[in-house]
Amino acid sequence: MPGNPGTIDASAVELFKAKAKLATIVIAEVKDLAAAIDYAIEVTEKSELGKLMPTKAGTIPPSDPNRKKTLTAPSISDADYAVLAQKGEAKGFTMIRSGLRQYLAGIDVGFTVADIGIAETATSACENDSEDYRLASMISETHVLALAKSKIVKTSYDAVSYLKEAFGREHNYTSFISGPSRTADIERVLTLGVHGPLYMHIALMEE
């Protein structure tokens, strides 16, 4: 793993924040994972109720006019999820842990934790072989991602050992995510949220 556990490269963190701004990523600085979970709850609360996709596709549930906001976090530990679920349900959100394929009509907020950050491009990298993990960061209108400051390296080359370890596994799907989904395919006008999230937040954790 790059970066010594617990040590923070302050200049890398600053660079990450600067580049994140250019990539239309909202940065929040929080103490730890518990605070990042609170942040995800807060973002969900503040977000507008996402419009479900009015589609004819079979696996998409018919849209419900009285539906509640949805929050998913398939990849965090059971203990962390229990905390999140309790807080989310208290706010009246529908909490989803797995089977995200059933929710292709849209989820309001997806919460995931990244393995490492690459400062020069504001990239968050994570091993996400689990399809639910991948979908949480794709079909949610807003993606909230937690990243420990100590896991931020300067350049992609500093992430080589991390990547080699990941690619060496029997099955592996590793993703680099560097902002909300974007396109400029119509008249070269930059537009966010074409297939993936419209908004991306990163909660940078001190520990």
Partner 1 sequence: MAESMKNYHDSLKEALEDSFLRKTLDTFAVQYKVNRANIFADMNATELINEIADHKDKAMLKLDELYQQFVEQASKKGLHIHRASTAQEANDIICNIAKENNVKKIIKSKSMTAEETHVNHALEANGFEVVETDLGEWIIQLRHEGPTHMVMPAIHLSRYQVADTFSEATKQDQDSDIGKLVKVARYELRAHFADADMGISGANFAIADSGTIGICTNEGNGRLTTTLPRVHVAICGIDKIVPNIEDALRIIQVLPRNATAQAITTYVSWISGSSNCEINSDKRKIFHLVFLDNGRTSLLKDPKCGQALRCVRCGACANVCPVYRLVGGHKMGYVYIGAIGLILTYFFHGHDRAKNLIQNCINCHACKDICAAGIDLPGIIQEIRARLVEEEGSPISSTLLAKVMTNRKLFHTLLKFGKFAQKPMTSGKFVRHLPTIFAGDQSFRSLPAIASESFRDRFAKLNASAQGTPKVGIFAGCAQDFVYPEQLESAVKILQAKGAGVAFPYEQSCCGLPLQMMGEREAAKKTAKANVDAFSNSNVDYIVTLCASCASHMKDHYTELTGDDPSYKDKTAKYLSKLIDFSSLAKNVLKVTEDDFINRGAKVAYHSPCHLCRGLGVTKEPRELIGLAGEYVPTAEEDVCCGFGGTYTMKFPEISSTVLALKLKNVEEGSKDGIKPELLVTDCPGCIMQLRGGEHKHGDKVKVQHISEFLGHNLKSK
Binding residues vs partner 1 (CB under 8 A)? 19, 22-23, 53-60, 99, 101, 104-106, 120-123, 129-132, 134-135, 138-139, 156-157, 160, 163-164, 166-189, 191, 193-197
- Give the residue with the Cβ less far from partner 1, 33 or 96: 96
Q: How far is the CB of 38 from partner 1 (least distance, A)?
A: 27
Question: Nearest approach, Cβ of 113 to partner 1 (angstroms)?
Answer: 18
Q: How far is the CB of 31 from partner 1 (least distance, A)?
A: 28
Nearer to partner 1, 3 or 179 (CB): 179
Nearest distance from C-beta of residue 198 to partner 1, angstroms = 9
The count of C-alpha atoms lying within 13 angstroms of the C-alpha of 155, restricted to the half-sphere facing its C-beta, is 1
Give the nearest distance from C-beta 62 to partner 1 in angstroms.
13
Name which of 6 and 168 has its Cβ closer to partner 1.
Answer: 168
What is the rounded distance in angstroms from the CA atom of residue 95 to the CA atom of residue 87? 10
Q: Which is nearer to partner 1, 37 or 112 (CB)?
A: 112
Of 94 and 130, CB closest to partner 1: 130
Q: 57 and 103 in contact (C-beta within 8 Å)?
A: no
For residues 6, 78, 84 and 21, what is the CA-based torsion angle, rounded to 10 degrees? Answer: 40
Nearer to partner 1, 2 or 88 (CB): 2
State the DSSP string of 127-171. E--SHHHHHHTTSEEEEEEEEEGGGEESSGGGGHHHHHHHHTSSS
The sign one gets for the Cα dihedral 143, 149, 150, 155 is: positive
For 40, phi and psi rounded to 5 degrees? -60, -40
Least distance between partner 1 and beta carbon 35 (Å): 26
Residue pointed to by tokens 């701004």 = 21
CB 29 within 8 A of CB 206: yes
Cβ(67)–Cβ(92) below 8 Å: no
